[in-house]
Structures are given as C-alpha cells and as structure tokens.
Structure 1
Amino acid sequence: MADTQPLGGTAIKPVGWDRSGFEAFRYFVYNPETGAIFSRTPMSWAKITGFYLIYYTLLAAFWLASLQVFFLTIPDRYPRWVLDDSLIGSNPGVGVKPIHSDKHIDSSLYVFYSSDNKQTPTNKEGEGERNADWKTRMDIYMKQYEDTRGLFECPDNNADKNKGKCRFNVADLGACGEAPYGYMPEDETMSPCLFIKLNKIYALSPKAVDVEKLDEPEYDEMSPELKDIIRGADDKEQVFFDCFGRFPADSEAVKLEFFPPTRSVSLKYFPYRGGNYHSPLMGLKIEIPKNRNNKNPGQMVHIECRAWYEGVQHDKKHKAGLTQFEVMIM
C-alpha cells in the first residue's frame, strides 16, 4: 500500500525559498525559471501598465473636462457674484496705510519714536519698526500712483464718463502727501500722518449723503463738525470720513488734522472694475500735545474712523464701514 500524505500535515515550501544574499537579489531582478522581471512576468507588466495608462488617461480627461466647465461658467474679467450677491457684500471696510511689518501684520498699533531720526530702514522693504521703516513702506505704497496707464484726468465737474478710471492726485493730501509723511522727528517731537481709504469692492458705486436727511436718526452718530462740512461743501459728491478719539481720554489727548480739509474722497474714483486703479486716500495728521518737558508723552490714543455715504452700515465687530487703530508716540 502506497504511503499517503495526511491533508495539511506537511507544509509545501516554494521553489527558491532558501535563496539569500546576492542569489536572492539576482532571482528578483530576473528569474530564468519563470521569466519574471522584478517579480512580474512580461505579460503581467504589460497588463498593469495598460491598466494604469487607461486609468490615468481617463482621470486626466475627466479633470480637464471639469476645469473647462469651470472656466466656461466663470467670467474672465470680473467676479461672477458681486455686491449683495457675493459673500463680501456691498458694505466695505475702511483701510489704514501704511501697513504694518510682516511680523506685526495682525496689529492695529502704530508706534513712532520721537528720538529715532535714523534715515536708514532695517532693509529695502522696510520690514522693521523704525520710523524709517514706516516711511519706506509708505513710499512703496505711494509708487502705485506714479503708474497712470489707462487712467484719466477727471475734473470734478466733468468726471462722469471716466468714473472709476480717474488718476488720484497725491497733491490733494497736502503736507501729508510728501515724504517722510511726518514719520521723522523734529526737535524730538513728531506729528505722523496716516492714510484712510475705502477698501475696494468690485462694482461698488457709493452714493453721496443726502444733505436733507442729515438730521434724521440714521446720521445721529455723525459728528456735528462733519455735518457742517457736508452742508457747506461745494462738491457734495463725496465719501466723507469722520475720525475721532474712541474714548473721552483719547479725544482730550489727540488733535486730528484732515487732508483735504473736506475729510473726503471724490465719488469720481468709483466704481472699481479691475485693471490699473488709484485708490483715493484721505490724510490724517495726528498730533499728541507735548507734556511739561516739551516732549511727546508716550500715551497710546485710540482712534476710530467711519466712512459716510448713503446706506453705509457701521459694524464694530466685523469692521464694516469703519476702522479702529491705536497710535503711540514714544
């Protein structure tokens, strides 16, 4: 009677199980017994290569088709959703220039030093906290107003046809429009200028405040000084700005001077529709009276600036229609 092998009684070792070292590597590269190259036969390599070629070709075709559908539904030159139909809405925030250094980009505190008269910035980008760094960052921002391609001179009485494409005249900023913008001390005291602007929103075209409604509740928070300025303005087609100390101690400690004195920017600069564009600015000169030693006192003052035009909403939580910042002169 022939010997029988019990089922499962003996493990069957594959051919070459005992190969090791260079012999095992040589058989991995090419196995002459099976014709396998790197553990796969030529037919297996052909099948898997064909599969991935087809798979990734179809995947790329699907991606390109989806991208083409995306491009067909998105305009090239303007946003698909604008103003109230967009997430941004039609109530812009108010911006302040110059910007802070990258290290303090999330800060709203402007610190100047009445004893720092060094003319050299930390680096060519002005990425530091010296007075010269503030000047350098403002110089960089102001360079955009030298590019007048596609823009027009717009007299206030004949600007309708070129609205939104008007050149901004930096000379309108008076003393604040000239470097070093009050950032370098004189006799260990200084009165720096900050620049207020309405943030850009595509197609936003603000309407002027209706003078006849200035005594209505919607304008209760506008200062009496600004109401008088609006009533007496020769050109009322403006976005007006109201800046003040946020708290009683701030109002007592700071003196604000506006450039231009109308506290406004003309509506001829709106709407923004892309391309080369000059954001209109209002200069705000900040003076903190000297102390008994005839020096800047080093007090931090809190300032709020609000934009005023028809229908504007002021939201302190989301900084809509206004901005809040602090200034300290050491």
Structure 2
Amino acid sequence: MATLNEKKTCSERMENFRRFVWNPETKLFMGRTLINWVWISLYYLAFYVVMTGLFALSIYSLMRTVNPYEPDYQDQLKSPGVTLRPDVYGDRGLQIYYNTSENKTWERLVTTLQTFLTAYTPAAQRLNINCTGDKYFIQDTFDGPNNTKLSCKFTSDMLQNCSGIADPTFGFPEGKPCFIIKMNRVSTGRRNICLQCSRDFTSFCSCCHRAQPYYFDRIKWTREFLLKPRLPIKR
C-alpha cells in the first residue's frame, strides 16, 4: 500500500510523459503508430473538405435564388424618398444654423455641397446619355457598357444658380443658401415622385445598382426653406 500511495517525483513524471509522447520500445507516438496517425489525419481532412464543400454549395444555391437586380439589403421600413444636402449633423437633425459674417460657421456646409456635386460633373457622367420626354425611360435590354442598362445624364450645371459654378459659396454669405434635395432611386415599381415637377421622368431609376452602375440620383435645388434669422442675445 505504501508503494501505491507513493508520490512520483517531477523527474519521474517528466519521464513518463516523454515515454507517452514517444515510446522507443513500442514505436508509438502518443499511443498510436505512425500509420494510425496518417489514417486519422486523412479522415479529418476529408471530413472538413466535405463539410466545407456542402456549406459552399448551400450558399451558392441560396445566392442563385436571389434576384441580382433587387437591392441586397431591404427592410420593412421604406427608404426615404428624398434626402437633404448639406447634411453635416447626421442623426442630430436637419436644423442648419450659421453666422453670415463668420466664414468658419458655413465653410463646412459649402465643402459638403462641393464634395457631393463632384459626382455630377460632366466628366463623371460621360458614359450617361441625354434623355428627353415626359415618360419613364423604360429599357428591356442591356445596351449599356459591360452589358448594363443606360443611365440618363444629370449634371450639376442643371442646378442653375445652385450649381456652385457661378457662386462657389452657394449663397451662404448672403443669407440665401442653396439646399439640394436628392431623390433616391426607386427599386420596385414606378412612382410619380415630384416636387412641383416641370422636368421629365426619364432620369428616375427603377433598377438596382448592378443594372445601372452609372446612375446618379436626381437632385433639385431650392432656396424656399424657412429661414429664420437668429437675434443677438442681449446681456
């Protein structure tokens, strides 16, 4: 009994562990022969290859059932039909305020508009076409570059006084700022989205980005927002 309860020294434990890892007498590596380890490795390799293949096949089959001309991400809530630029406050709201006599209070707003309109330069829309008419530009074929649909051209010079060409400050120093309304594309169906429309519907898009990769959302300028001057605080 004394022998059974006798504690092994650290060197004895290390020796037993060494013999477990490699036993020179039985030629076993961690309790198994070399050929056994080869078969085990091949089994798990084949197992994970098959599992990976089944997973890839299921993902591929699922993606084949998805319409490539529908938006990738959709929700029960509809996307906003229009958005406003400049939008420098994000989720904090659309209340825009600045001091006409202090450039630093409106320079960021002007920079935001200039950056936004870079996509509406003639060079950026050189692949688009001029559209005319009072109906939707319906395309049943893919006649555009790389087997895509054509997009209507809409450049910043169509914004007239708010194009940023004649007035790079967009009227902010004079207290008559330009606001740009961006009309988001329509992914399903065709709707009459109008803000006192006097132009045609041809440049409204009812396709996804893959079908019309060169499409840019329609924009409209206005200075008719409610502008309220802020009175100085009396001390």
- TM-score, length basis structure 2: 0.68
Quick one: which of 132, 157, 169 aligns to 1:180?
A: 169
Note closer, same or farther for the CA distance 1:64–1:159 as it changes in structure 2 (3 Å cut): closer
Q: Which residue of 2 aligns with 1:220?
A: none
Post-superposition shift, 1:194? 1.9
Q: Which residue of 2 aligns with 1:138?
A: 113
Quick one: which of 120, 132, 135 aligns to 1:155?
A: 132
Note closer, same or farther for the CA distance 1:161–1:65 as it changes in structure 2 (3 Å cut): closer
Quick one: which of 95, 98, 102 aligns to 1:116?
A: 102
SS in 2 for 1:137: helix
Post-superposition shift, 1:42? 2.0
For residues 248-302 of structure 1, the C-alpha deviation after alignment (integer angstroms, 9 at most, x for no partner) is xxxxxxxxxxxxxx56664222233232112111212246354xxxxx4389xxx
For residues 107-138 of structure 1, the C-alpha deviation after alignment (integer angstroms, 9 at most, x for no partner) is 223343434314xxxxxxxxxxx532222222
Task: Provide the C-alpha distance between the structure 2 equivalents of 1:40 and 1:116, rounded to a whole number of angstroms.
Answer: 81
Task: Provide the C-alpha distance between the structure 2 equivalents of 1:272 and 1:197, rounded to a whole number of angstroms.
Answer: 15
- TM-score, length basis structure 1: 0.51
Q: Percent identity?
A: 23
Post-superposition shift, 1:46? 2.1
Question: Unpaired segments of 5 or more residues in structure 1?
Answer: 119-129, 208-238, 242-261, 291-295, 300-330
Identify the range of structure 1 (66-75 vs 109-118) with the bigger mean alpha-carbon deviation: 109-118
SS in 1 for 2:83: strand
- 5 Å-filtered alignment, 1:199-210, equals 199-207=184-192
Post-superposition shift, 1:64? 2.2
Q: Which residue of 1 aligns with 2:231?
A: 297
Post-superposition shift, 1:59? 0.5
Task: Provide the C-alpha distance between the structure 2 equivalents of 1:10 and 1:19, rounded to a whole number of angstroms.
Answer: 15
Greater share of strand: 1
Note closer, same or farther for the CA distance 1:194–1:33 as it changes in structure 2 (3 Å cut): farther
SS in 2 for 1:270: coil
Q: Which residue of 2 aligns with 1:59?
A: 51
Q: Which residue of 2 aligns with 1:19?
A: 12
Q: Which residue of 2 aligns with 1:327?
A: none
Q: Which residue of 2 aligns with 1:170?
A: 156
Q: Which amino acid aligns with 1:148?
A: Q
SS in 1 for 2:185: coil
For residues 290-327 of structure 1, the C-alpha deviation after alignment (integer angstroms, 9 at most, x for no partner) is 4xxxxx4389xxxxxxxxxxxxxxxxxxxxxxxxxxxx
Q: Which amino acid aligns with 1:145?
A: Y
Q: Which amino acid aligns with 1:271?
A: C
Q: CA RMSD in A?
A: 4.0
Q: Which residue of 2 aligns with 1:218?
A: none
- 5 Å-filtered alignment, 1:84-123, equals 87=75, 92-100=80-88, 104-109=89-94, 110-118=96-104
Q: In the comparison of the two structures, how many residue pairs are matched?
A: 212
Post-superposition shift, 1:45? 2.0
